[in-house]
Chain A
Amino acid sequence: MKMIRRALVAIGMAGLVAAALRLRGVGGTPPQSGGWRELSGPELG
């Protein structure tokens, strides 16, 4: 009984850590400088 309880607690803890990592994620690069400009006729050609 004690072993089952420990196993369930361990699984629960692992699940919580996995969920936290999944929600947090890693990476991401902030925008630098510049902006978007619509393509006009000559640029399409």
Chain B
Amino acid sequence: MTRVGIVGVGAVGARLARQLVSTEVEQVLIRDESRNRAELVARSLGDTAMVDRGEMTDPLDVDVVVLAGPGRLQATHAAVFVRNGQHVVSTSDDIDDVRALLALDHEARERGVHLVVGAGFAPGLTCVLAAHGAARFDHVDEIHVAKSGTGGPACARQHHRAVGRGALDWRDGGWEHRPGGSGRELCWFPDPIGAQDCYRAALPDALVLVPAFPGIRRVTARVSATRRDRLTARLPMLWPTHPEGGPGAVRVELRGVRGASRDVVVFGAMDRPAVAAGAVAAVAVGFAVDGMLRRPGAAGLAELVEPVPFLTELARRGVRAAIFEGDVAPSTSGGLGAS
């Protein structure tokens, strides 16, 4: 009997809960800072879902805990559950949080538990697409990730913070700090998102991708933003967040060597970010329960999963990946240019 706990049922957590009750999970325990919200979600899911009335870091009697609450708190919560010997799946996309989650690797390995870091739209689906694309190369030199759109209000606030903070790129074997909101690139996402101006931001994608691709030269991540987003990024949010973000997309560009020549492959996916993130987290839970993760410890999905079965299961749940076919233009930054 598989029991899964969800800590935080905002836009992503609620979608995740729905994904879990529609599959083979016997019980879903829901915990949220807002008791009303937890009860509302549990009621909408039927008998399989129950509200847990404990504090956010109280022990949960489950096999896997999914952290789907505010990004900046997930490392603190994960440490507690890892110490309890429970598998943890984190959906955090906060750069500091992801760094702290990855730092739990040693402890998670010692206890023989899985800590999946960044099981969302980006990082998450982007990591799986990168791993999938890497199979087409003899050696991957560069990975450039871009994402567009936000899930719920917490995701929108995280996007606002990220554009105003410093970005972290991997370049020639070292970390490079760049200003958030800089480095505009026109990125071509799957329809109907199309072309979007994307900028550097405090995104954790490079942190989870670099360990999965030893010897890689460059890893960058950008997020789509408007000029208003860039101008106001360092101010408090001046307008209310939408309860449910619109459609979003991700794009993963890989550059490397195949045979005697260099090549570029671009993968992408379009969906509502909260829906896709919920599906990715649900599939990650399934992989953890079924023992399909490659190793215990803290790591991103590029390191932990076989991409083909993961993408196949995602497609079964309605989240479909796409490949760009056509000319990939050289870009001003040497990587992320539109296709």
Contacts and interface: CB of A to CB of B under 8 A. Distances in A.
Interface of A: 19, 22-23, 25-39, 41, 43-45
A25 B184 contact: yes
Contacts of A23: 227, 230-231
A35 to B, nearest CB: 6
Interface residues of B, number: 37
Contacts, number: 89
B308 A33 contact: no
B186 interface: yes
A28 B188 contact: no
A36 B268 contact: yes
Interface string B313-339: 001000011111111111111000111
Contacts of A31: 186, 188, 195, 329, 338-339
Nearest to A43: B323
30 contacts: A19-B231, A22-B230, A25-B184, A25-B197, A27-B183, A27-B184, A27-B332, A28-B184, A28-B185, A29-B331, A29-B332, A29-B337, A30-B186, A31-B329, A31-B339, A32-B327, A32-B329, A34-B326, A34-B327, A35-B326, A36-B190, A36-B322, A36-B323, A37-B322, A38-B322, A39-B267, A39-B311, A39-B321, A39-B323, A44-B311
Nearest to B314: A44
Contacts of A41: 312
Given A29-B331, A29-B332, A35-B325, A22 B185 contact: no
Contacts of A27: 183-186, 331-333
B333 A37 contact: no
A30 B288 CA distance: 42
Interface in B128-187: 132, 181, 183-186
A38 B185 CA distance: 24
B58 interface: no
Given A32-B327, A34-B327, 13 more contacts: A22-B231, A23-B230, A25-B184, A26-B184, A27-B186, A27-B332, A29-B329, A29-B338, A30-B338, A36-B325, A38-B320, A39-B315, A44-B321
Contacts of B337: 29
B320 A39 contact: yes
A5 B24 CA distance: 72
Contacts of B132: 44
A27 B268 CA distance: 22
Contacts of B320: 38-39
A45 to B, nearest CB: 6
- Nearest first, the 9 A-B pairs at minimum CB distance are A34-B326, A29-B337, A32-B327, A25-B184, A28-B186, A27-B332, A36-B322, A36-B190, A29-B338
A16 B13 CA distance: 43
B326 A32 contact: yes
B107 to A, nearest CB: 34
Contacts of A44: 132, 308, 311-312, 315, 321
A34 to B, nearest CB: 1
A38 B339 CA distance: 16
Given A26-B184, A31-B188, A32-B339, A39 B231 contact: no
Contact of A37 (B197, B230, B325, B330): B325
Nearest to B266: A36
B61 interface: no
